Structure 1
Amino acid sequence: MTMMTKVCVSALALSIASEAAATEWNVSVWGKRRAFTEHIHKLADLVAEKTNGEFTMNVSYGGLSKNTENLDGISIGAFEMAQFCAGYHPDKNRAITVLELPFLGVNTLDEEVAVSNAVYAHPAVAEEMAQWSARMLMTSPMPQYNLVGTGEPRDTLEKMDGMRVRATGGIGKAFEAVGAVPTSVTSSEAYQAMESGVVDTVAFAQHAHLSFGTINEADWWTANLNPGTVNCPVVVNIDAYDALSDAEREALESSVPEAIDYYLSNYGELLKKWDDVLAEKSVEKVMISDEELAKFEEIGGKPIQDAWLADMSAQGLPGQELLDLVRSTLKAQRGTN
């Protein structure tokens, strides 16, 4: 073998070894790139940068799974990372549904991050997620949901009676308590449901009203109803996580806070422009009276929380402990601000 051949063989061997050492993860999300997924892209950029391109993530919008089946895909290792929302399958992620209860009193995205992180770290959550081979990585914090609707504004509880609303989780239960008829069509189906008249109102955070087009069908938007929000974690497959090298795991974990900070900054810019969006699309900004809000909380708040506590207790889950954790975390968060 000539010297040149030896050099070529050595180079080829090094190339193969390098390729073998590289880690590539597939990430399942849905819809299209939007404020709700910016932290995932930021995370992928940071991890690739910290590992000199040896650990990369391919983010797929609906190409790997339906949004309602992302947790199932994680459980069988069909992909390594995914985003899902607790309200899509509350029976599979019972513990984190505490974060979707109505009228928890969470006011800001920073508070949403704090309570989510606290709940995700609870042993009951880790144990339940492990049943699906899933490990919590980070949240996807969203502001309080509000309605867009067609026709006359639903600005009193009386007008909400019989309202057909796209709402999931605890928010759906809160609307049901005041006589509305919630349906849990997925976010991707909300526009069509609204356009075809299957629903006359849709409960979303601002980015989703934009991203999924429901704002384009709307005559009005409730600025201050704020019944709650949904909780949408990003999880990783446990086997894939355990297979990472120490350096890769460090790159992943250390990038989460920065990815969340980027998300919060990006979402903040969207919120600043929201009033301009309403004006541009001729959508009326509706303010609910304090009296109606108090009635809504009384009917759709504590009774829903109490029913959830009873349900969790019956299933042997520490519901009261989780709810107390949310409240104590909120108190601590406000004490630091």
Structure 2
Amino acid sequence: MNSISSKLLVTGLALAFAGEAAATEWNVSLWGKRRAFTEHVHKLAELVEQKTDGAFTMNISYGGLSKNTENLDGISIGAFEMAQFCAGYHPDKNRAITVLELPFLGVSNLEEEVAVSHAVYSHPSVAEEMAQWNARMLMTSPMPQYNLVGTGEPRDELKEFDGMRVRATGGLGEAFRAVGGVPTSVTSSEAYQAMQSGVVDTVAFAQHAHLSFGTINQADWWTANLNPGTVNCPVVVNIDAYEALSDAEREALDGSVDEAIAYYLENYGKLLEQWEAVLDEKGVTKVELSDAELDAFHKVAADPIRDSWIEEMSAQGLPAQELYDLVMTTLETQRAGN
């Protein structure tokens, strides 16, 4: 081989390795299967790849990288670069955002859920707490108010919740406990089996999860208007991986969040439109509690649990009242803007 050919070969290899090194590939840890709850992650990956001409890609895994309850731990050690988790899985690790899981906050739609979640995520105390796990908040996974599916006779009075075994985490679990329920925090993936085997009588989920995890297939009834609250599930990124991005990659990532959320809301809206047909198809009775029963539930669960949370979190050094007030003022602002 002559010297010119050798130089060309070396240059070509150098360029190839340089191109290879410049490519950024992230692993993303989700769980279950692809569903309405994860569509914004897929949209985000699609947008980022488009905006960087394929230089920044994401490999999305459903359970192949970690258990859902260990995703935050995986982020902390850099086992993967992005993950989704729910606050109720480990409230001791993400205390500040559990304000979003307090019962009866009054959030009435997904747009409001996005607004209050992102407002809280932007609070310095949240960033500080997440930094302990080498995690940076990226976006929420907004869900509508949870409701119950159950077996046996419908429960449309609070007294019938006494002794009811319910799959519910975080503040929702505390709300049901306040009216005599027995909450258990089995993971979403285990909920169907828990219901099938009789470990629980009822499961509290948003509509997409009742469909995705099959609990609707075990259900005799569904509470259409209980609306005690919801679970908050952020998508986070590893801080080191985020800071290692180029300016263009970081701009592509951050600049795609709003579009990914908008896509999520549109997609979830279509699912909600189909929900009534699903209930009819599966022969599930729709249960509506009276205003008196709902008021009684609110009185027992809302104020006492909120006050207890504020007292407990304040004692741990968190600005609990400030976080709660932030949720309320954000709701007011969101509604005024509409």
What range is the shorter-chain TM-score in? over 0.9
Q: In structure 2, how many angstroms separate the alpha carbons of the residues matched to 1:2 and 1:289?
A: 88
Q: In structure 1, how many angstroms separate the alpha carbons of the residues matched to 2:5 and 2:132?
A: 54
Task: State the match for 1:109 in structure 2.
Answer: 110
Equivalent residue of 1:165, what SS? strand
Percent identity between the two aligned chains: 78
Task: State the match for 1:316 in structure 2.
Answer: 317
Task: State the match for 1:50 in structure 2.
Answer: 51
Q: CA deviation at 1:3?
A: 4.4
Residue type at the aligned position of 1:209:
H
Q: In structure 2, how many angstroms separate the alpha carbons of the residues matched to 1:207 and 1:100?
A: 18
Structure 2: gaps of 5 or more residues: none
Q: In structure 2, how many angstroms separate the alpha carbons of the residues matched to 1:302 and 1:258?
A: 36
Task: State the match for 2:271 in structure 1.
Answer: 270
Q: In structure 1, how many angstroms separate the alpha carbons of the residues matched to 2:57 and 2:16?
A: 17
Task: State the match for 2:39 in structure 1.
Answer: 38
Q: In structure 2, how many angstroms separate the alpha carbons of the residues matched to 1:176 and 1:77?
A: 37
Q: CA deviation at 1:5?
A: 4.7
Per-residue Cα deviation, 1:254-294 (whole angstroms, up to 9, x for no partner): 00000000000000000000001111111111111111000
Q: In structure 2, how many angstroms separate the alpha carbons of the residues matched to 1:194 and 1:164?
A: 10
1:93 aligns with 2:94: yes
Q: CA deviation at 1:4?
A: 4.7
Equivalent residue of 1:41, what SS? helix
Equivalent residue of 1:126, what SS? helix
Equivalent residue of 2:142, what SS? coil
Equivalent residue of 1:82, what SS? strand
Q: In structure 2, how many angstroms separate the alpha carbons of the residues matched to 1:200 and 1:38?
A: 30
Task: State the match for 2:183 in structure 1.
Answer: 182
1:150 aligns with 2:151: yes
Q: CA deviation at 1:6?
A: 3.9
Task: State the match for 1:229 in structure 2.
Answer: 230
Q: CA deviation at 1:169?
A: 0.4
Q: CA deviation at 1:49?
A: 0.5
- Write out aligned runs for 1:147-296 (5 A): 147-296=148-297
Q: In structure 2, how many angstroms separate the alpha carbons of the residues matched to 1:178 and 1:49?
A: 50
Equivalent residue of 1:275, what SS? helix
Equivalent residue of 1:301, what SS? helix
Task: State the match for 1:326 in structure 2.
Answer: 327
Equivalent residue of 1:42, what SS? helix
Q: In structure 2, how many angstroms separate the alpha carbons of the residues matched to 1:11 and 1:205?
A: 54
Equivalent residue of 1:117, what SS? helix
Structure 1 runs of 4+ aligned residues shifted over 3 Å read: 2-9
Give the length in aligned residue pairs: 337
Deviating more after overlay: 4-13 vs 88-97: 4-13
Q: In structure 1, how many angstroms separate the alpha carbons of the residues matched to 2:302 and 2:207?
A: 22
Task: State the match for 2:120 in structure 1.
Answer: 119
Residue type at the aligned position of 2:126:
V
Q: CA deviation at 1:313?
A: 1.0
Residue type at the aligned position of 1:147:
L
Equivalent residue of 1:58, what SS? strand
Residue type at the aligned position of 1:155:
D
Task: State the match for 1:65 in structure 2.
Answer: 66
Structure 1: gaps of 5 or more residues: none
Q: In structure 2, how many angstroms separate the alpha carbons of the residues matched to 1:87 and 1:107?
A: 20
Normalised by the length of structure 1, the TM-score is: 0.99
Residue type at the aligned position of 1:295:
A
Residue type at the aligned position of 2:115:
A
Equivalent residue of 1:56, what SS? strand
Task: State the match for 1:77 in structure 2.
Answer: 78
Q: In structure 1, how many angstroms separate the alpha carbons of the residues matched to 2:252 and 2:17?
A: 23
Q: CA deviation at 1:154?
A: 1.2
